[in-house]
Amino acid sequence: MTPERGAVRPDLVVELEVLGPWSLATSKSFWEGFAPASLPSRGSSDELRTVFVAEGDWQRVEAVVAQEGDSARIALSGSGDLRSAAAQVGRFLSLDIDARGWPDVGRRDPVIADAQKQLPGLRPCGFHSPYEAAAWAVLSQRIQMTQAASLRRSLIENHGDDGAFPAPGVLRTLDVDLPGRKSEYLHAVAEAALDGVLDGAHLRSLAPADAMHLVRQIKGLGPFAAELVVIRGANAPDVMPTSERRLNDEIVQRYGAGASPDEISEQWIPFRSWASVHLRALRAIRMSETSMSMSNSR
């Protein structure tokens, strides 16, 4: 559940200067279509509303984000450490990244320039936390995305805190019937979160290879999951994904057969994650439009 407009009086309002291009409208559109899908943000188009459990104290937080020129206005409600929660919002919406050099990537690479033009002001929006990303990695292993999304919704509805994903203290005690060893692996994720292993600020501060190595020590999380946790959980801005087949397919389509993702991505530094997200987003839009066109032609 997300709060209705004007229903909650915020306990804390933080003004965050956003350096570099940013459009809340574009980012919100990306957020609402972001797997694990259904990260709804009800209300007017000029606000993004969400609910999550804050890292550290794992208390439920409601956040409403609005754009005011070059600044983000983050209004938070909850009983925990809201200043830390505000920093978490800045991280999972990529508002804390100095992106004044992001246009330079487009000047070096016309493909990315086209992506920037089509998705003006997009800042990659990740999971609320590496903890939620790790839980999603477990839920989505070896099953269809729609099935995983259904499992996630069930956990939120039955064990979450009024729309927020279950806190790790709750998740580690759950005895639910899930496919394979998912329950066991979710317990391991919860323990790691409580031990601070999945702290977003810490993972972001590490070299990507070191961060992914740390994540892989958690039972049930392999290379693909570790990338997901670091890139989309900690929202690290400069990591080139190596396990995304659809991204590699998009690179071949955009740059030609024989294009090397490693070589191509050199010109994206220090925004390799951002460039990858832009290409994946455009691919998803194109595939959706193709599917809709085929459906309409029947």
- What is the mean pLDDT of the segment spanning 212-235? 96
- Taking phi over 0 as left and psi of -120 to 50 as alpha, with beta for the rest, 134 belongs to alpha
Of 59, 66, 87, 84, which Cα lies nearest the Cα of 164? 59
Instruction: Among 3.30.70, 3.40.50, 3.30.310, 2.60.40, name the CATH number for the domain at 12-101.
Output: 3.30.310
**Is the confidence at residue 2, as pLDDT, over 60?**
no
CB 34, CB 79: distance < 8 Å: no
The per-residue pLDDT for range 236-291, each reduced to its tens digit, is 999 999 888 889 889 999 999 888 999 999 999 999 999 999 999 888 877 665 55
Kindly give, in sequence order, each residue whose CB lies less than 8 Å from that of residue 242, ignoring residues fewer than 6 positions away: 223, 227, 261
Tell me, yes or no, if the pTM score tops 0.85.
yes
The per-residue pLDDT for range 110-139, each reduced to its tens digit, is 999 999 999 999 999 999 999 999 999 999
pLDDT for 294: 52
**Is the confidence at residue 170, as pLDDT, over 80?**
yes
**Is the confidence at residue 292, as pLDDT, over 60?**
no
- What is the mean pLDDT of the segment spanning 98-103? 98
Q: Which CATH architecture has domain 130-233?
A: Orthogonal Bundle (1.10)
- Residue spans of the domains in the chain: they are 12-101, 130-233
CB 51, CB 132: distance < 8 Å: no
